[in-house]
Amino acid sequence: MSGHSKWSTIKRKKGANDAKRGKIFTKLIKEITIAAKMGGGDPEGNPRLRSAITVAKSENMPKENIDRAIKKGTGDLGGAVYEEILYEGYGPGGVAVLVETMTDNKNRTVADIRHFFAKSGGNLGESGCVAWMFDKKGTISVDKAGVNEEQLMDVALEAGAEDVVEEEDSFQIITAPESFNDVVDQLEKGKIKFAEATLSMVPKNTIEVTEEKAARSLLRLLDNLEDHDDVQKVHANFDITDELMDQLS
């Protein structure tokens, strides 16, 4: 879990989620659009669309934005045609990096991503070079403040969660992808608020980055990738100690 949870924690501390709210909405709209295009506009019969809507709601996206994105996907509204491409590579310190993209110009996208990797001292790899190091999971972050741990455990596990992991200031609920929506539904029914809910590629093992230069370059790489308009999600199998994070800050 360290790679995903560490990066999520870092972004929250930096305020990146608030600063890039517009970009987050743009990425979510793309996901909803392509989900509706591939599986139809009814979330009850389209698990991918239902998950995308769940994540959008967790980011407080207005209902009209969600409805408009669905209509674009079903063809009721015009819009760009996107292609999904997964890029894989190695960042500083040998950290494995997965980059999920949705683009209308793959030549532009791959050129930019290759540039980011090279600039950081990493390299873009072949398809399949690092994907095997990750498992797809649902991850739901619940702030410790104001939540009853015993109630949270009962609700999450009864709804089908695989595990609840305690961290410094939050609980991370881990689910199989097919249980993700059910767990979110039960949390909402139990009036348990969550800070983040998303489907992620969770690393099976992590690499600890101990050198300041490598850590700084890695975080810059992840920032550059996530800031790119064509990038939907970035996953990496790293861990950085809190002490080193304090130095970087």
Whether the pTM exceeds 0.85: the reply is: no
Cβ contacts of 154 within 8 Å, gap of 6 or more = none
Second-level CATH architecture of 2-74: Orthogonal Bundle (1.10)
Pairwise pLDDT comparison (35 vs 242), residue with the higher score: 35
Structural contact between residues 238 and 3, judged by C-beta atoms closer than 8 angstroms: yes
Q: What is the pLDDT of residue 158?
A: 94
Q: Domain residues of the chain, as ranges?
A: 2-74, 83-132+205-248, 134-203
Reported as a single tens digit per residue, the pLDDT across 216-246 is: 999 999 999 999 999 999 999 999 888 888 8
Closest CA to 171 of 207, 193, 214, 142: 142
Looking at domain 83-132+205-248, its CATH class is alpha beta
Regarding the domain delimited by 134-203, which CATH topology (the fold level of the hierarchy) does it fall under? Alpha-Beta Plaits (3.30.70)
Burial class (CB in 10 A: 0-12, 13-18, 19+), 71: middle
Domains 2-74 and 83-132+205-248 share a fold: no
Reported as a single tens digit per residue, the pLDDT across 93-107 is: 999 999 999 998 999
> How far is residue 200 CA from its own chain's centroid?
5
Q: What is the pLDDT of residue 3?
A: 47
Reported as a single tens digit per residue, the pLDDT across 134-163 is: 999 999 989 888 788 899 999 999 999 999
